[in-house]
Structure 1
């Protein structure tokens, strides 16, 4: 057994001080420091007064540290999963781009293999963003490879795909959405020009998620409310949000929080390969991206993902909304866990759940990250 002591433990209800977490691969006990002597622990980690949080879960990340999910290199995912540990992420969904179907399927094969490996941050499956999108709101996706909805093209990988982003208006009926839901895939609206009516129909068919809300979608309009209004109105839809203060103005962040509430929002990074590096020129889905002053853009000025880290997203959102730490942490832990059906094992510090922890200070700077009870990152 192992123990983390001298920390401020963030549970779903409160922050515990003078308590210790006992664990091996899973959490065995959360008890007052005075009762620690009843357990024999082979390893003890001193949090040195820092916060001990559930590990962060990023449901939408393309890459970082110079690598992308779709890179045809054996070590690409390995480097990504090692790098995100520095941001408190203990589990994530590598996210694809609209590229050739052969590139997408090769990526899905690599992700499937990585799902069984216990090293670095845990690969939970794939967020398939494209190729079933609308070219009108393609954003930084490559229009040449957009195709019509066809479940046969992805059915071999239904065990790997946890979230699929699509534009429902390009379909002739709702069979694709219903099949995805039957297979346990979360269906998300994104890169879409759907009307309010089309979006509400898609929600009735099973849509329960919105990809990077406000981005690559028609803006809110009082006569043509569109997909965003439908998502804000529906209790079924959970909204992703990129909180780098570039993609979405803080006022709209506050508006979404007030409308959806804590349980229906998830912070994501949408990070691309330049994340954790710096200014320069990079590739995203075969397109040239220039990063300058934390903004990633294509040559035509279109925003191309982000260089955001998830711990910074939490910090930004707290600053923009005055949320307290307990509530803000929910948006990167229990909420994403619930959305993809893993809340029984991840997302909170609770007996029996995986011993996934992020340890950080008042500034949300990550000090250490543990996955399944193993210390995989410690700031030096």
Structure 2
């Protein structure tokens, strides 16, 4: 049975009054129509980097909690997402991989992202320093074999001993290698790119700051045509002016909005936990109790989309950053990320104020 959803349809590079025709789980067509109404229709959001939400976390390897966290973000328009862990012992990484395989199989999550533990002590941010270590090909080989395609991304600091070999292994195994939580120089970062990295983890955050005589990882990643740069558009991780500058420098094809959300997203202020560390959340801001470091976010993708538009990006650019570009970064552009015939019928209907009215995933309304 077909259904037509009318409004201002946001397609790659354009906003067209019309309708999206859905046939079961698939987009059948997208057509123009003058009397489409004021709703704004965007592709379902794709979140590359999320640790939890709605009081539930991905970081402990609990499949029930993971399903609940994914369901929370789905209500905010995220129809495709990775379950991100923080730096952890190998045993937790192994057990979480095994526990989340059924969730990947039934589409609750698109895969796993290991943010660490192969990260810089100097730029660890809210990562637990007790779990940081040098990249291990033995660990990665075992995890990739166990995951059988479920591990989609691993963040590594490229300056660490063995990091370039790890990046090469991941890229050769069909896993996205991301560079982040790094004190690397410009040259060391470019070496990571040359080894096969294709994503920059939350650009600016957890990185050596840019300097005109030592550009560091920020400039190296922005300058690399093969790199998709993650941006946390919450007004806390990035000033709106820096968000706009980075988005314009990278362009919509190389900039991806992420939440980096923890379980406190959608929850009241209070005490939480991340990677075995106490976190205090006050007025939307999550910080480690021990040193005040920003500890993930309380963001959802619909909020990130609104923030990007309010920062001065047009609807088509913000939509590309929230859906099309991250889908391509994961190798899923032939399935999701745009309102095009033949793709999965994932879409979000927004009101004129960009708040979520309805969410469709695989042709089914929530």
Is the counterpart of residue 306 in structure 1 residue 297 in structure 2? yes
* Correspondence for 1:349: 339
How big is each residue's C-alpha offset from its partner over 1:61-120, in whole Å with a ceiling of 9 and x where there is no partner? 0000111102353410111111111211101001011121111211111222201114xx
- Distance (whole Å) between structure 2 residues aligned to residue 14 and residue 136 of structure 1: 43
What TM-score do you get using the length of structure 2 for normalisation? 0.94
* Correspondence for 2:308: 317
Is 22-31 or 256-265 further displaced after alignment?
22-31
Q: Offset at 1:194?
A: 0.7
Give the direction of change, closer, same or farther, for the CA distance of 1:328–1:74 in structure 2 (3 Å limit): closer
Give the direction of change, closer, same or farther, for the CA distance of 1:110–1:249 in structure 2 (3 Å limit): same
Is the counterpart of residue 57 in structure 1 residue 46 in structure 2? yes
How big is each residue's C-alpha offset from its partner over 1:151-180, in whole Å with a ceiling of 9 and x where there is no partner? 221323322221110111112462211111
- Distance (whole Å) between structure 2 residues aligned to residue 188 and residue 30 of structure 1: 34
Is 19-28 or 233-242 further displaced after alignment?
19-28
* Correspondence for 2:142: 156
For structure 2, the residue ranges without an aligned partner over 5 or more in a row are: none
Q: Give matches, 1:94-133, under 5 Å.
A: 94-118=83-107, 122-133=108-119
Q: Give matches, 1:32-71, under 5 Å.
A: 49-71=38-60
- Distance (whole Å) between structure 2 residues aligned to residue 11 and residue 233 of structure 1: 26
- Distance (whole Å) between structure 2 residues aligned to residue 146 and residue 250 of structure 1: 31
C-alpha contact (below 8 Å) 1:20/1:33 kept by paired residues: no
* Correspondence for 2:14: 14
Is the counterpart of residue 248 in structure 1 residue 238 in structure 2? yes
Is 252-261 or 242-251 further displaced after alignment?
252-261
C-alpha contact (below 8 Å) 2:54/2:265 kept by paired residues: yes
- Distance (whole Å) between structure 1 residues aligned to residue 33 and residue 243 of structure 2: 39
Q: Offset at 1:32?
A: 5.5
- Distance (whole Å) between structure 2 residues aligned to residue 363 and residue 131 of structure 1: 40
Q: Offset at 1:49?
A: 4.1
* Matching residue within 353, 360, 364 for 1:363: 353
C-alpha contact (below 8 Å) 1:5/1:33 kept by paired residues: no
Secondary structure of the 2:49 match is: strand
- Distance (whole Å) between structure 2 residues aligned to residue 137 and residue 104 of structure 1: 21
C-alpha contact (below 8 Å) 1:20/1:32 kept by paired residues: no
Q: Offset at 1:334?
A: 0.7
What TM-score do you get using the length of structure 1 for normalisation? 0.91
For structure 1, the residue ranges without an aligned partner over 5 or more in a row are: 35-46
Give the direction of change, closer, same or farther, for the CA distance of 1:173–1:165 in structure 2 (3 Å limit): closer
Q: Give matches, 1:65-84, under 5 Å.
A: 65-84=54-73
- Distance (whole Å) between structure 2 residues aligned to residue 16 and residue 316 of structure 1: 22
Give the direction of change, closer, same or farther, for the CA distance of 1:362–1:104 in structure 2 (3 Å limit): same
Secondary structure of the 2:349 match is: strand
- Distance (whole Å) between structure 2 residues aligned to residue 77 and residue 84 of structure 1: 11
- Tell me how many residue pairs correspond in the alignment: 360
- Distance (whole Å) between structure 2 residues aligned to residue 173 and residue 21 of structure 1: 47
Secondary structure of the 1:296 match is: strand
Q: Offset at 1:30?
A: 2.6
- Distance (whole Å) between structure 2 residues aligned to residue 230 and residue 218 of structure 1: 11
Give the direction of change, closer, same or farther, for the CA distance of 1:68–1:328 in structure 2 (3 Å limit): same
Q: Give matches, 1:132-211, under 5 Å.
A: 132-158=118-144, 159-172=149-162, 174-211=164-201
